[in-house]
Structure 1
Amino acid sequence: MSGTTHDRLDAHGHTHGHKHDDHYHTWVAPSEIEARVRAFESLLVEKNITTHDAIDTLVATFENDLGPMHGARVVAKAWVDPAYRARLNQDGTAAIAELGYRGLQTEHVKALFDTETDHHMWVCTLCSCFPWTLLGIPPVWFKSAPYRAKVVSHPRDVLRDFGYDLPADVKVHVWDTSAEQRYLVVPLRPADTDDLTEEQLAGLVTRDCMIGTGKPLSRAEWEASR
């Protein structure tokens, strides 16, 4: 893999994915899934259980109202507010709820704090448990069996696949998420950002860095994306 996927947030809180080559994406067969979804949707509409408009509204909610812009707010606040960071470390679910994010797989969240010597990643090895409210719909590669297997056995190789080469002296911790325990990585704050506001800092936070497969945008990358 020559790169990763960054989700940039615009002024309205919408995400704009910047995709690069993604081997994990090619290991699944979304066409079969899409066909099943269309057939199921048609059946529900035919039986008057729902309508196409209702389904479109639900999809729009997941695309626009749930997503990494929320997780980014949590991370940015932890970067600038030591008291909030302490509460997030002690009880992630409660601290996240302070910002209004609850339910939809946002319960039982533990924050994982990167340091100069420790890097955290998380994966759902059995299915695809994902904190939708904080990160939106899980990416296709996150749900693929090859990725889930490789990140557990060779996490550094996965990071390199995403263009993220950690120093050898940094220890990598891989956490297995489930319905009873979900995670959110709080990455290291990028250098040269002391003058940025909390809202501006949230613009540096990518979905992938909150999973642990990427890192926040640098100041230069952030400024170039505006």
Structure 2
Amino acid sequence: MTQHVNKYTEYEARTKAIETLLYERGIVSPKAVDRIVSYYENDLGPMGGAKVVAKSWVDPEYREWLKKDATAAIASLGYAGEQAHQITAAFNDPKTHHVVVCTLCSCYPWPVLGLPPAWYKSMEYRSRVVADPRGVLRTDFDLSIPDDVDVHVWDSSSEIRYIVIPERPADTEDWSEEDLVKLVTRDSMIGVQKALSPQQVAG
């Protein structure tokens, strides 16, 4: 006799059941749901974090505050709540690159990063990035980190969450804070990509 193993948690199973009913009755379409999820994952949600990063690039006092008390500094811009308490900011620099993971679950600062992407929640990413962060960045995200740059992996939990502050791209000295926001992506704030270059935005 084959034993059925439920791969979903109780809440995931309930969500899946409701989702299936909505699809079957034609109330919503899978494509519409995918578009909404994509919007919150990649556009609306990460805008909060992008504003935090851009402000840290142009405002030295805010940057220092972010280093000392990221939770308060982020809350001062209006991003606070259940998933935004106890946030630590990890700053990339020429000698250090930071990557965020949650090995036990998928803890994520929703108010500044939006919805967590599916790959962030996957067991594969969670286990591999801890064991071989350089390899994961190179093979999964096409990001090669030089050997002389240290890679630090930060493990989020329900008690503490992380946001990576990527390095400011070159040739942006005259850019306004509003324009700099366009260079910051969700993936750069997780640490699996760098901030976009002016050429990437223009192209």
Q: TM-score range by the shorter chain?
A: 0.7 to 0.9
Question: 1:33-182, aligned counterparts within 5 Å?
Answer: 37-40=15-18, 63=40, 67-161=45-139, 162-182=141-161
Task: Report the equivalent of 2:185.
Answer: 206
**Alpha-carbon distance between aligned partners in 1 of 2:20 and 2:47, rounded to the nearest angstrom:** 32
TM (norm. structure 2) is 0.82
**Alpha-carbon distance between aligned partners in 2 of 1:81 and 1:151, rounded to the nearest angstrom:** 32
**Equivalent position SS for 1:71:** helix
**Alpha-carbon distance between aligned partners in 2 of 1:114 and 1:63, rounded to the nearest angstrom:** 25
Gaps of 5+ in 2: 1-6, 22-26
TM (norm. structure 1) is 0.74
Instruction: Write out per-residue CA displacement over residues 46-102 of structure 1, whole angstroms, 9 at most, x where no aligned residue.
Output: xxxxx99xxx9xx78x83995101100000000000000000000000000110111
Aligned CA distance change for structure 1 residues 165 and 42 (closer, same or farther; 3 Å): closer
**Alpha-carbon distance between aligned partners in 1 of 2:110 and 2:143, rounded to the nearest angstrom:** 24
Task: Report the equivalent of 1:222.
Answer: 201
Please tell me the root mean square deviation across aligned C-alpha atoms, in Å: 2.7
Gaps of 5+ in 1: 1-28, 44-50
Letter in 2 for 1:63: Y
From the two aligned structures, give the one with the greater helix fraction: 2
Letter in 1 for 2:66: L
Contact 1:117 1:169 in 2 (8 A): yes
Q: CA deviation at 1:39?
A: 1.7
Letter in 2 for 1:134: V
**Percent of residue pairs identical:** 55
Aligned CA distance change for structure 1 residues 94 and 35 (closer, same or farther; 3 Å): closer
Contact 1:72 1:202 in 2 (8 A): yes
Instruction: Write out per-residue CA displacement over residues 195-219 of structure 1, whole angstroms, 9 at most, x where no aligned residue.
Output: 1100100100010010000011111
**Equivalent position SS for 2:169:** coil
Instruction: Write out per-residue CA displacement over residues 4-57 of structure 1, whole angstroms, 9 at most, x where no aligned residue.
Output: xxxxxxxxxxxxxxxxxxxxxxxxx99xx98852423688xxxxxxx99xxx9x
